[in-house]
Copies of this chain bind each other. A is one copy, B any other.
Amino acid sequence: MGDVAARLAEIVGDKNLLIGDAISEDYAHDEALSTTPQKPAYVAKPASTEEVAELLKAASEYGVPVTARGSGSGLSGAARPQADGLLLSFERMNAVLEVDADNHVAVVQPGVTLAELDAKTAEAGLSYTVYPGELSASVGGNVGTNAGGMRAVKYGVTRNNVLGLQAVLPTGEIIRTGGKTSKISTGYDLTQLIIGSEGTLALATEVIVKLHPRLTHGATVLAPFGDLDQVMAAVPKIISSGLAPHILEYIDNMTMAAIVYNEKLELGVPEEIRNTCQAYLVVALENREEARLHEDIETVGELLSELGAVDVYILEGGSARKLIEAREKAFWTAKAVGADDVIDVVVPRAAMPQFLTKARELAMAAGGGALGCGHAGDGNVHLGIFCKDPETRKKLLTDIFAYGMELGGAISGEHGLGRTKAGYFSDLEDPAKIELMRRIKQSFDPAGILNPGVLFSEGKA
């Protein structure tokens, strides 16, 4: 162990290697509600791609498991290290290397936060459009989980907005994939394979992201509905309208009550409507021209009324921003009101009413509850699960995931499997696919040093 520490310290320098008590509690977990914190044996903070490569070579040689960490804001435990492992923190590799306005791309190091990237791209009138809700999240972490967020309904998720990577293979080779171009048909798409692999295949050390023109005019409509089915039926109609909202969210009435209370929001919805409506739809539009935005917002309002909204509230700048920010904090709200887990099943969007009805029935039958909100345009349902007993909860989640898959969906739309969902994946996924994924893992990481226990449940399948 002393040998390993000495070797790692040689690579990153003494003050960038932490061992024993120098490792703070923060490094023992991410934000997943259902993992047990675990301090690693070593925390290394490399400053360059070359140092990352040397660290991985050393880890391979000594058989030390390696977990990568960005900001630690993940929700499924993919950044929770192993007791005998090395936590490789990208906190020092946090530079925006380039904002290239002609090619509409930025090149960043993985430790850059979304807030920093947003500030830099704003200067060029551009925007990186992946907003998973947590602006302290790192781009590298977003690549790991294929993060999504509210604007995915218009702009897609991380994999639709990352054009290329520099990455280090667990065997120490440094490769470049993709480039500053939106199309390449030249061999297998390694960029897409590494995105969403949760630190199990390779570690990204540079990320080329796509930028969009920053549209300056935006407005938000809030529409309460008497009935959740009506909300869901409205979604495909809004998409078909061609109005291209960049946010299309539903929030159930309990969740809305909790976020209004927690964030002290004043949305102008009268109490009798709040008491009778079952769910809300939030629709936000943006445009490069103010006049068109106003026209389109009127059109959306009329459409929502036709589709059964009890009323339609056009939110002005400040309250619109607060509502979106409050929605982004829905995870923290769920945590504050005592949720035992949060899940983000994705189903075909037309199947959302069925899925939600069944998930709630299952939760009630288990003596618990399931409340939430979600990316309605994407069929991505975020539920806080209230069910104290671990065994009952495991059975409940298994049933909910199985039903989502039966509807043609998947366990996670954007949080990833991490440690918390890996067991369900092993139990529910087609064994032929898991075997294929294990062989792919093997082709990158023959020694199995990258994030064991994540994505693939240990000792299963």
Contacts and interface: CB of A to CB of B under 8 A. Distances in A.
Interface of A: 100-105, 125, 145-148, 152, 156-157, 159-160, 169, 173-177, 179-190, 192-193, 195-197, 201, 213, 215, 236, 239-242, 288, 292, 346-350, 378-380, 408-417, 421, 425, 429-430, 432-434, 436-437, 439-444, 455
Contacts of A436: 169, 175, 190, 443-444
Nearest to A408: B179
Given A175-B433, A432-B175, A443-B442, A185 B414 contact: yes
A192 to B, nearest CB: 4
Interface centre among A103, A104, A183 (most CB of B within 10 A): A183
A190 B436 CA distance: 9
Contacts of A186: 410-412, 416-417, 421, 425, 429
A355 to B, nearest CB: 11
Given A183-B346, A184-B413, A185-B415, 16 more contacts: A103-B236, A146-B183, A156-B183, A159-B192, A183-B380, A183-B413, A184-B410, A185-B414, A185-B416, A186-B421, A187-B434, A189-B196, A190-B433, A190-B436, A436-B443, A436-B444
B430 A175 contact: yes
Contacts of A347: 181
Nearest to A344: B185
Contacts of A288: 242
Contacts of A443: 436, 439-440, 442-443
A-side interface mostly: loop
Q: How many copies of this protein are present in the complex?
A: 2
Contacts of A100: 348, 350
Contacts of A176: 430
A190 B432 CA distance: 12
Of all A-B residue pairs in the complex, the 5 with the closest CB atoms, nearest first, are A439-B443, A192-B192, A102-B350, A180-B348, A186-B410
B156 A182 contact: yes
Nearest to A244: B213
Interface centre among A156, A189, A414, A439 (most CB of B within 10 A): A189
A179 B242 contact: no
A454 B239 CA distance: 40
Contact of A152 (B182, B241, B444): B182
Nearest to A444: B436
A179 B173 CA distance: 34
10 contacts: A104-B240, A147-B185, A156-B182, A173-B432, A180-B348, A181-B346, A181-B410, A186-B412, A186-B416, A186-B429
Contacts of A183: 146, 148, 152, 156-157, 346, 378, 380, 413-414
Nearest to A350: B102
A187 B441 CA distance: 11
A63 B215 CA distance: 57
A373 to B, nearest CB: 16
Contacts of A188: 193, 196-197, 201, 437, 440-441
Contacts of A415: 185
A450 to B, nearest CB: 13
Nearest to A178: B410
Contacts of A240: 101, 104, 125, 213
Contacts of A196: 185, 187-189
